[in-house]
Amino acid sequence: MHYFSLNKQAPDSSFKNAVIKGLAPDKGLYFPKSIQPLPKSFFDTIDQLSDTEIAFEVIKQFVFPEIPEKELRQIIEDTLSFDFPVIALNDSISVLELYHGPTMAFKDVGARFMARCLGYFNQNNSEKITVLVATSGDTGGAVAHGFLGVKGVDVVILYPSAKVSEIQEKQLTTLGQNITALEVDGVFDDCQYMVKRAFLDHELTSKLQLTSANSINVARWLPQMFYFFFAYKRLKVSHDKIVFSVPSGNFGNICAGMMAQQLGLPVNTFIAANNANKVVTDFLKSNSYEPRPSVQTISNAMDVGDPSNFVRILEIYQHDFDRLKENLSSYSFTDAETRSAMLEIYNNYNYVADPHGAVGYLGAKSYLENHPDAHCVFLETAHPTKFLDVVEKVIQKKIELPAQIQSVMGKKKSAIPIQNYEGLKAFLLKT
């Protein structure tokens, strides 16, 4: 498989090069040159396949021949070491739980897959790779755990001070080894800007082999297709009008779902469920894309004012606004509405949702008002205990901490404060 830059000013790339470089030389995101739909027989028999068999068939065209079949199967086996349950709340709404991995967030899959791909590519390379990643919450912890101890790889995580939950912060600041956390005096967009600027800085790139573990990296982004196939496998017998409501921040997850649809997955449409950061919701109303500074909310992983992956979505639909609108609805919800939804889900279904899942639930409800025959699956992207201060206050109940969370709570935070890009650059040059 070859990849091209969406800025279209750079040579085509191999999968290996796209993973190691992260961004193209013209600073565009990489995108597959071709997408070959899976055969109908795959979907007819999907319920007879294991999750690892499904994932192999889904991803292989995007990584062959650079990762051979035996090694790819092992990477997938290592990546998917936990379950992805689908739970019906009622006849019209189900929830896909994506938080059963080591850091209890959906990003565990992409981070683990990318780490293992990078480890495979770097196994005989004497040059160290530095992974730069900006996080608004869950990405940092997932990347930290996914890359922990990977030979020849250093990970530097930028996160906004006082704008991630205590548990999220613990997960990305307590591991040590090859993981370093930089606490940024700013918001997520500042962190993301610094990472992008580092890739443009010749003084850095001439001395360091930099790559990104945000969803701009194809090896982080593409494995997120797996979730949608797993959900279809679990719902296939019951529902033929599946709609996915995806809590959306940087739009990598919903873009991966659209890629799954390009592979032939029978998805009726997608819902981008936004919090107060509603650039895409507004775009679908006006056909005018206007990035803006992010707004802090209780669903902090979605606090993104300029979602990086939206350019990939535009590419899927060949920048045809009408085609995109046919397959994407978007709604925006306030923190007050999110809290009300969390309480409604708990009272009506005895289900505890995190703030991001609650936004997804609201997106599903809004869509069903005008499409009552659909079956909406909203994504529960993080375990509710990662947002204890919000969730417990809303439902008025103590939540037991799972083992994955208990294991980090007693550990001491280790983070280096930085004020601006110059602080990041100085840190990288001295390492």
Query: Per the domain annotation, does 416 fall within a domain?
Result: no
Average pLDDT over residues 127-133: 89
Residue-wise pLDDT for 251-310, tens only, equals 999 999 999 999 999 999 999 999 999 999 999 999 999 999 889 899 988 989 999 999
- What type of residue is 19? V
Query: Per the domain annotation, does 199 fall within a domain?
Result: no
112 pLDDT above the threshold of 80: yes
All residues at 6 or more sequence positions from 252 whose CB lies less than 8 Å from its CB, including other chains: 110, 214, 215, 220, 221, 224, 308, 309
Residue-wise pLDDT for 141-168, tens only, equals 888 888 898 888 999 999 999 888 888 8
Distance CA 265, CA 384 (A): 29
DSSP secondary structure code for residue 275 in this structure: S
Query: Per the domain annotation, does 186 fall within a domain?
Result: no
Chain-wide mean pLDDT for the chain? 93
Distance CA 338, CA 313 (A): 26
Based on the structure, what is the number of domains in the chain? 1
- What type of residue is 237? V
Query: Per the domain annotation, does 39 fall within a domain?
Result: no
Query: Per the domain annotation, does 240 fall within a domain?
Result: yes
- Higher-pLDDT residue of 296 and 351 is 351
Q: What is the CATH number of the domain that holds 349?
A: 3.40.50.1100
Q: What is the pLDDT of residue 70?
A: 96
Residue-wise pLDDT for 368-384, tens only, equals 999 999 999 999 999 99
Query: Per the domain annotation, does 254 fall within a domain?
Result: yes
Query: Per the domain annotation, does 150 fall within a domain?
Result: no
137 pLDDT above the threshold of 80: no
176 pLDDT above the threshold of 90: no
Q: What is the pLDDT of residue 101?
A: 93
Q: How far is CA 169 from CA 124, 147, 148, 356, 384, in A?
A: 33, 17, 16, 17, 15
Query: Per the domain annotation, does 247 fall within a domain?
Result: yes
Could you give the percent of the chain with pLDDT greater than 90? 74
Q: How confident is the model at residue 199 (pLDDT cuts 50, 70, 90)?
A: confident
Length of the chain: 431
Among all chains, which residue has been given the structure tokens 């938080």? 99
Q: Which structural domain range is residue 280 located in?
A: 83-104+221-400
Distance CA 84, CA 86 (A): 7
Question: How many Å separate Cα 128 from the centre of its chain?
Answer: 25
Average pLDDT over residues 96-116: 93
237 pLDDT above the threshold of 70: no
Write phi, then psi, for 3 (nearest 5 degrees): -125, 150
pTM of the predicted model, to two decimals? 0.90
Identify which of 60, 82, 185 has the alpha carbon closest to the alpha carbon of residue 142: 82
Residue-wise pLDDT for 29-84, tens only, equals 999 999 999 999 999 999 999 999 999 999 999 999 999 999 999 999 999 999 99
